[in-house]
A = this chain, B = another copy of it.
Amino acid sequence: MTVSRVMRKPDSVLPATRDRVNKAISDLGYVPDRAAGSLHTRRTGFIALMLPTLTNANFSAVAHGLTDALRAADYDLLIAYTDYSHAEEERQLRNLLARRPEAIVVTGPVSRRESARMLLAADVPVIEIADLPSRPIDHVVGFSNYQAGRTAARYLIQKGFKRIAAVASTQEHEVVDHRGEERIRGFEDELRLSGLPTDLTLRHGKAPVSYSHGTAVAGILLERKPPIEAVFAVSDLSAVGLVMECARRGVRVPEDLSVMGFGDFEIGREINPPLTTIHVDFRALGQRTGQIILELLSGEKAKTPRIVDVGLKVLERASVAAGPGTAGTPRATK
């Protein structure tokens, strides 16, 4: 007991005793067992974070942001990833709950009923991030992937393009990039509103998409007749692969094909031409999530679910030009 006091409120122990205890701690290399402590205090110090994958800079940024916010408060992140599989999500969720996290952060809307039931039963704050679910379980810190898609389409339409394609992964039964699909849905809806065709959407491969996705779809995309004028890729990574493959084939971006991505990955800024994309501040999203968790756990829980939209913005760079529908390309008007 005195040891416990030395570690937790050193001032309540006489300096002489404290020194003796500290010596013993140091000699033995004693580190208290938090599992045992948790059992008594009912506080595990775990925050669960469920991501589709770790191999994605934006999701890593969320983890970093969360850590930033939680570091001072001595919470540990318990990270799980699902590889975009619903079955795996449910499995991982059960695992996580067995660790009694004090809050649970899940990426995007929880897909399965069973998963949602488990979350409700766990009776801890649940924060869905990186999307705005139509029927949230509890709290939300995200942005509308649907609106991201519509915004992208609107941008390309305003630029004067008519033949606009989208590229995404295929939808398999268990493995679905739900947020990517929402972007595609918004994109196609916006095209429809402008009376443009939506049958140019190209699906290939399994989520998550990466550079090779873009290189793989480039061939198919470039063969389309009449030629496609602009493409929106669900992810910058695919968009970058596409731009690179265009360079290899001698197809000029944006003169021959305009390319737009999503996610504002660092590489998009560096390639030539720099990639026009949609930016979401994922690190801030993670930090905001962390702050909300701290508020919720510090007891001042206004019971009302918090819904935070961190927004998004188009980053105009050079991979999108003006389309044939405009008076002329910026180049021509100069």
The chain A residues found within 8 Å of chain B, CB to CB, are 28-36, 38-39, 44, 54-55, 57, 60-61, 63-64, 67, 76-81, 94-95, 97-100, 117-118, 120-122, 210-212, 215, 240-241, 244, 247-248, 266-267, 269-272
Known contacts A29-B117, A60-B60, A211-B269; 11 additional CB pairs below 8 A are A29-B118, A29-B122, A30-B121, A31-B98, A32-B98, A35-B99, A55-B64, A211-B267, A240-B270, A244-B272, A247-B272
Let me know if A29 and B266 touch, CB within 8 A: no
Closest 6 CB pairs of A and B: A29-B121, A35-B35, A54-B60, A34-B98, A55-B60, A31-B97
Q: Cβ of A100 and Cβ of B35 under 8 Å apart?
A: yes
Contacts of A117 in B (CB 8 A): 29
Oligomer copy total: 2
A-B contact pairs, 13 of them (CB 8 A): A31-B121, A31-B122, A35-B38, A35-B99, A54-B64, A76-B78, A77-B79, A78-B78, A79-B79, A210-B266, A211-B270, A244-B272, A267-B267
Give the Cβ gap from A147 to chain B, nearest Cβ, in Å.
Answer: 27
CB distance from A174 to the nearest CB of B (A): 16
Q: Please give me the residue from chain B that is nearest to A76 by CB atom.
A: B95
Q: Give chain B nearest CB distance to A44 CB in angstroms.
A: 7
How far is B271's CA from A269's CA once the two chains are assembled, in angstroms?
A: 14
Instruction: Note all chain B residues with C-beta closer than 8 A to A272.
Output: 244, 247-248
- Which residue of chain B has its CB nearest to the CB of A247? B272
Chain B residue, CB-CB nearest to A244: B270
B residues less than 8 Å from A60 (CB atoms): 54-55, 60
Residues on the B chain within 8 Å of A39, using CB = 33, 35-36, 39
Chain B residues near A76: list those with CB within 8 A: 78, 80, 95, 99
Tell me, in angstroms, the Cα distance from A79 to B64 when the chains sit together. 12
Closest chain B residue, CB of each to CB of A91: B71
Q: Which residue of B lies closest to A283 (CB)?
A: B55
Residues of B within 8 A of A54 (CB): 54, 60, 63-64
A27 and B266 CA atoms in complex are apart in Å by 47
- Complexed CA–CA distance, A60 and B83 (Å): 13
Q: Which chain B residue has the least Cβ–Cβ distance from A35?
A: B35
- Given A35-B100, A39-B36, also A212-B266 (CB < 8 A): yes
- Of A61, A63, A272, most B-chain CB atoms within 10 Å: A272
**What is the minimal beta-carbon distance from A84 to any residue of chain B, in angstroms?**
13
Residues of B within 8 A of A95 (CB): 76
Min Cβ gap A286→B in Å is 11
Residue of B nearest to A58 (CB): B55
